[in-house]
Structure 1
Amino acid sequence: MVILSLVSCSVSLFSPPVNLRLHLPPVTPLCSHGSVPASTFRTELQPLLVRCLDRRESGLVFRCNCLNTPIEAGSQMESLFSLFRDIGFKEEETAMIMAKNPDIKSTSLDKISARVASLQSLKIIDFALQGLIAKCPNLLTSEELDLVIGFLLVELEGRLDPELVERLLTVVDTSFLLSFNQKVRLLIHHGIPKENISHVLNKVYLNKLLYQKSVEDIERMISYLEPFGGIGIIARRPVILNSDLDTQLIPRVEFIRSLSGEDDFATGTVLRRLPAILSYSVDHMNSHVEFLKSFAGLTSEQVFKIVHVFPNVISTSKERKLRPRLEFLKECGFDSPGMFKFLSKAPLFLALSEDNLSHKLGFLVKIGYKHRTKELAFAMGAVTRTSSDNMQRVIGLYLSYGLSFEDILAMSTKHPQVLQYNHSSLEEKLEYLIEYMGREVEELLAFPAFLGYKLDSRIKHRYEEKLKSRGENMSLNKLLTVSAERYSKTADNFEVICL
């Protein structure tokens, strides 16, 4: 009996089986299954190879290490084509994908199916899934992605936006993805909630995060920003992670810190209020500071106090907004100390659009304010925090209750905020004053600040307490401005006298 031992064989359907190698020693055990007669090759193996060569599946490679345990290559290919059909690929598209990544044909079908299911669990489905696989077929077999996909599904609980996952998985060199888990864990460890991590990563240049930023770089950045707000600043302005710590962030933070007089807390306040200020170069910030110092006559300390309450002054155009607004204040008679006082209270005046200010200026002139006066400037400052539409409704509301333009002017001169209150809440207070308190609207001329108190917790409460004491009508001023303790004692004493 001739004993045959098949050590290895390889058949490619694109060419004759030139790699078929047969070793015929006199007697050799076949794996652990004993001896096999030579006739086995003629009667069993040769027909099998012929049938495989007749199949049309492209790129099929048949390998076996022993005759009794052959891989069912045909069945594997049929299953792969079926899987790709379920995803949405045609046969020729599947063949192209396998040509781009031949490892698909030798990878376990279970593993490929599991990878597809994982991508679908990350909400990459339908056309997005087809596009991702067609663009990067290595995603189906790359072992480097196992940890990353597991991290996205388990630790991040699939919270990342599908578009972000797609961008992440299409990086050129998947080996860089191995550090992705560490970097995200670092951000979460320092305080960014998992539910916000997708927002943070969406704002970051992934190439920089993956290729240029090491875990140590991110740790250094967070540590440097810690005295000023740390991870909170990054959470509000994730693009900060794109910046270089040594050449960009440190010089910018130190410029603001120097302007503050080395006050870390005040510097942190500026950064927390406007993290985007770190997007501006030192030259840009310095040019704005020097402009305010030279054109408005402000000191460095005064400039920082304005920046402290309104950091957006650094992002405001010098020529389109800062210069004409400061010129307006000068025309209204403000000197440098006056401008500083005005801008400290109404810094939005520097940043509002020209249309916004022109509409409000028109309303103020209509009710009686004179051009180029401090009163007009103060009124402009008071209405910076309201919209033109609300301001128009407020003026119309006063007129509907019988007040004239002269009355509105008198009230706003005495208490400029009466033009910026929300018109809905203002209407409720006017209705309560007249319908429930039985007062005349003209009383507001003497005490317009009445309109600034909260209706339920102050106005109603005080008025109802007064009714319990059975006292005579009290002026609006006395009713609302007396301290709560003093008011309570006055009401109690009045009640005792009445009893």
Structure 2
Amino acid sequence: MVAAYALFTHPFVTSSSADSIFSFTLPPPLTAHFSTSSLTFRNHEWSSLLKLAKTPRPEPNPLPTQLGLRPNEQFLLQCSSDPVADFGTHSSLFQAVGIDEKEARVLLEKNPALALTSLDSLRTRIESFNSVGLDGLVLSHLITKCSNLLTAEEIDPFLSFVRHDLEAKIEPGQLKRLFRAAEVRFLVGFDQKVSLLLGRGVPSEKIVDVLNKVNLYKALCLKSVEEIDRTIAYLNRFGGIELIVRRPSLLNYDLETQLAPRIEFLTEVSGGDENATGTLLGKLPAILSYTVDHTKGHVELLRSLAGLSDEQIFKILLVFPNVVSASRERKMRPRIEFLKQCGLSSNDIYKFLTKAPLFLGLSFEDNLAYKLAFLVKIGYKYRTRDMAAAIGSATRTSSDNLQRVIELFLSYGFSCADIVVMSRRHPQILQYSHSALEKKMEYLINEMGREIGELLAFPAFLGYKLDDRIKARYEVKRKILGEGLSLNKLLTVSSESFSTKTPAYVIDLNVNVE
């Protein structure tokens, strides 16, 4: 009847004269709501209809004011309790985002508030997402997974902060992971936590880099301002905010159950020296990503198998913190066993590892195997102290450079046995750049007029800087003492002794200068 009243003044009303029958033909937009396209009323029915038309209709019950609905939206809500019934008003907007009709209907069923939200509000929210880099398929997937992203009140302040204060520089991938993981209520206070980091010393030019490298949900959203502040205060004893700037993911960890126990264990190994622990963390903040059990396993292996003390182990950690990333069973154990088979004592192993710690970390198949083959080929005997010293030096260079060094010596007339003799006296020659060695050898022969064989007696010559040491000293002493200079004394004496004008540098070139 209400529908009939609405049609009373409609131009589609017609009369059939004699029998006073009024016929109503519904306009096309309304035919879908009725079973037929016309309604017919006789005189007595029409009288009743007129009385009904003159009777004032009761006002609809007001909707809750907190919904903030416009009058036309209130009317729509009263006419139908099904939010999907008015889907057509939002259809084009959803399609523009990349959400098809089927997905949109599912969204309305899950989140009826979408149907009650104006198109302008939805459009503004979508534009806000677009402004921080979330658009296209990424945004459509987010909305289908978390439909309240279009209606939750907490979203707008967060997006505004990211867009304006952080200049929309947070990576879209970071925001996508955050919105998928976090309930919107956890976004409240995000700006305060960022302000805390800035106030605690994170440089403004680094803040975006920090935020892009943390798990925003774990590091900021799930933690209160007080929790974050306590973490920073604790780290101040060991390097402070600089550790966070260099390794932002430290903010992901819980202070009480993760960070503090890991730092305390390292401090224990250091003998309680917090300054030394801070130095270690400064060299490799990522060491705190390993659990206490993991690090303890590496320390215990060095204690039991290599026979090292905690003091020695900590010094190795200072030289090569990444030792904690080496596999204990696949790398550390067999290589320490190798050093022991070469005749090295616990103290020898300690000295070896402080000079060549990479020995514990390098790949065997892609690195060490080739170098061992080169050394055996030129005459080193396997599992000897000389072999250990040579492989220790070789770990500090590439396989390609080691091969080129050996080929360079051979090209200058040295035999494989000569190379072994020189490298035994000065193992570092195996790790020097082949191009730098060639320049020094050419200068020795062409500029200094010396025999290449002198390197057998004094291979350390190849370890000094060509311009700053060799050329500089040779030019000074040649003017004073002529050509007959001892390579050994020319290069090894202190700067103070070298500055004195004494003829002690004159030497018979036929005398062994070892």
Cα distance in 1 for partners of 2:412, 2:98 equals 69
CA contact (8 A) 2:316 2:357 kept: yes
Letter paired with 1:348: L
Match of 2:376 in 1: 365
Q: After TM superposition, list the pairs within 5 Å mapping 1:347-496 onto structure 2.
A: 347-355=357-365, 356-463=367-474, 471-472=482-483, 474-484=485-495, 487=498, 490=501
Out of 142, 145, 153, the position equivalent to 2:155 is 145
CA contact (8 A) 2:87 2:105 kept: no
Q: Does 1:127 align with 2:137?
A: yes
CA contact (8 A) 2:461 2:491 kept: yes
Structure 1 stretch displaced more, 169-178 or 320-329: 320-329
Cα distance in 1 for partners of 2:249, 2:203 equals 17
Runs of 4+ in 1 over 6 A off after TM superposition: 39-44, 50-53, 76-79, 467-470
CA contact (8 A) 1:367 1:409 kept: yes
CA contact (8 A) 2:219 2:253 kept: no
- Identical pairs, percent: 54
The DSSP-based 3-state class of the residue aligned with 2:189 is helix
Query: What displacement does 1:247 show?
Result: 2.5
Out of 47, 58, 71, the position equivalent to 1:63 is 71
Cα distance in 2 for partners of 1:410, 1:221 equals 56
Cα distance in 1 for partners of 2:152, 2:172 equals 20
Going from structure 1 to structure 2, the CA distance change for 1:353 and 1:66 (only over 3 Å counts) comes to closer
Structure 1 stretch displaced more, 351-360 or 381-390: 351-360
Going from structure 1 to structure 2, the CA distance change for 1:298 and 1:168 (only over 3 Å counts) comes to closer
Structure 1 stretch displaced more, 88-97 or 157-166: 88-97
Cα distance in 1 for partners of 2:339, 2:292 equals 28
Structure 1 stretch displaced more, 360-369 or 78-87: 78-87
Going from structure 1 to structure 2, the CA distance change for 1:106 and 1:459 (only over 3 Å counts) comes to farther
CA contact (8 A) 1:209 1:242 kept: yes
CA contact (8 A) 2:422 2:459 kept: yes
Query: What displacement does 1:212 show?
Result: 3.9
Unmatched 5+ stretches in structure 2: 14-25, 33-68, 76-85, 506-514
Structure 1 stretch displaced more, 463-472 or 418-427: 463-472
Cα distance in 2 for partners of 1:17, 1:413 equals 108
Going from structure 1 to structure 2, the CA distance change for 1:369 and 1:65 (only over 3 Å counts) comes to closer
Query: What displacement does 1:178 show?
Result: 0.9
Deviation per residue, 1:236-275 (Å, 9 max, x gap): 4444333332233222221221221111111112222233
Letter paired with 2:71: R
Q: After TM superposition, list the pairs within 5 Å mapping 1:46-445 onto structure 2.
A: 54=30, 63-64=71-72, 83-90=93-100, 97-98=107-108, 100-193=110-203, 196-197=206-207, 200-201=210-211, 204-209=214-219, 212-355=222-365, 356-445=367-456
Going from structure 1 to structure 2, the CA distance change for 1:103 and 1:339 (only over 3 Å counts) comes to same
Letter paired with 1:391: L
Cα distance in 2 for partners of 1:465, 1:77 equals 93
Going from structure 1 to structure 2, the CA distance change for 1:317 and 1:88 (only over 3 Å counts) comes to closer
Going from structure 1 to structure 2, the CA distance change for 1:118 and 1:450 (only over 3 Å counts) comes to farther
Letter paired with 1:215: V
The DSSP-based 3-state class of the residue aligned with 1:170 is helix
CA contact (8 A) 1:160 1:197 kept: no
The DSSP-based 3-state class of the residue aligned with 1:430 is helix
Query: What displacement does 1:106 show?
Result: 4.7
Deviation per residue, 1:103-160 (Å, 9 max, x gap): 4555454443333333222222332233233333432333211221112112222221
Deviation per residue, 1:264-320 (Å, 9 max, x gap): 111112222233333334344334333333333322322222233223334433333
Going from structure 1 to structure 2, the CA distance change for 1:52 and 1:62 (only over 3 Å counts) comes to farther
Letter paired with 1:451: L
The DSSP-based 3-state class of the residue aligned with 1:213 is coil
Cα distance in 1 for partners of 2:250, 2:74 equals 60
Structure 1 stretch displaced more, 397-406 or 315-324: 315-324
Cα distance in 2 for partners of 1:51, 1:423 equals 93
CA contact (8 A) 2:186 2:222 kept: no
Structure 1 stretch displaced more, 409-418 or 171-180: 171-180
The DSSP-based 3-state class of the residue aligned with 1:352 is coil
Cα distance in 2 for partners of 1:456, 1:111 equals 72
Cα distance in 1 for partners of 2:27, 2:278 equals 75
Match of 1:3 in 2: none
Going from structure 1 to structure 2, the CA distance change for 1:426 and 1:17 (only over 3 Å counts) comes to farther
Match of 1:4 in 2: none
Structure 1 stretch displaced more, 225-234 or 254-263: 225-234
Letter paired with 1:218: I
Deviation per residue, 1:157-212 (Å, 9 max, x gap): 22211111112223452011113223333334334445655554455444433564
CA contact (8 A) 1:156 1:194 kept: no
Cα distance in 2 for partners of 1:437, 1:118 equals 74
Cα distance in 2 for partners of 1:159, 1:438 equals 63
TM-score (norm: length of structure 2):
0.73
Letter paired with 2:429: V
Match of 1:8 in 2: none
Cα distance in 2 for partners of 1:458, 1:99 equals 81
The DSSP-based 3-state class of the residue aligned with 1:441 is coil
The DSSP-based 3-state class of the residue aligned with 1:183 is helix
Cα distance in 1 for partners of 2:2, 2:322 equals 74
Query: What displacement does 1:226 show?
Result: 1.3
Going from structure 1 to structure 2, the CA distance change for 1:80 and 1:474 (only over 3 Å counts) comes to farther
Larger Rg, first or second structure (1 or 2): 2
Letter paired with 2:422: M
